[in-house]
């Protein structure tokens, strides 16, 4: 399920994502899995489904991206350097 553009542009969502990211998995060349703290996963899942569920943000990215966590910040409707953002829950 793709995140609606309105969600991505929400200042609340941007603030929560930037504050809650604590792990980035660069195992796959073209995707970054960002694991969020459990509270924000449940919050996102509830907002999208209307019931308690967890969410994981998965990004399709340029493989030349630096793997430094500091390089990823939520700004407007994308994470810097990412070509698209999807949500799995």
Taking the model in full, what pTM does it have? Answer: 0.31
Token pair belonging to 36: 């969020």
Residues 39 and 82: their CA atoms lie apart, in Å, by 24
Cβ atoms of 79 and 59 closer than 8 Å:
yes
Half-sphere exposure of 12 (CA within 13 A, CB side): 6
Of the candidates 30, 16, 9, which has an alpha carbon nearest to the alpha carbon of residue 81? 30
Instruction: Output the tens digit of pLDDT for each of the chain's 89 residues.
Output: 344 445 555 555 556 566 655 555 556 555 555 555 566 666 666 766 666 665 555 544 444 444 443 344 443 333 333 333 444 43
Token pair belonging to 55: 């969410």
Per-residue confidence (pLDDT) for residue 32, from 0 to 100: 54
């Amino acid at each position: 399920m793709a995140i609606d553009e309105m969600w991505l542009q929400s200042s609340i969502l941007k603030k929560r994502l930037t504050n809650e990211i604590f792990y980035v998995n660069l195992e796959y060349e073209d995707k970054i899995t960002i694991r969020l703290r459990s509270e924000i996963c449940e919050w996102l899942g509830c907002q999208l489904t209307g019931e308690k569920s967890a969410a994981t943000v998965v990004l399709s990215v340029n493989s030349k991206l630096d793997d430094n966590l500091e390089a990823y910040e939520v700004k407007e409707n994308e994470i810097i350097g990412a070509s698209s953002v999807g949500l799995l829950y």
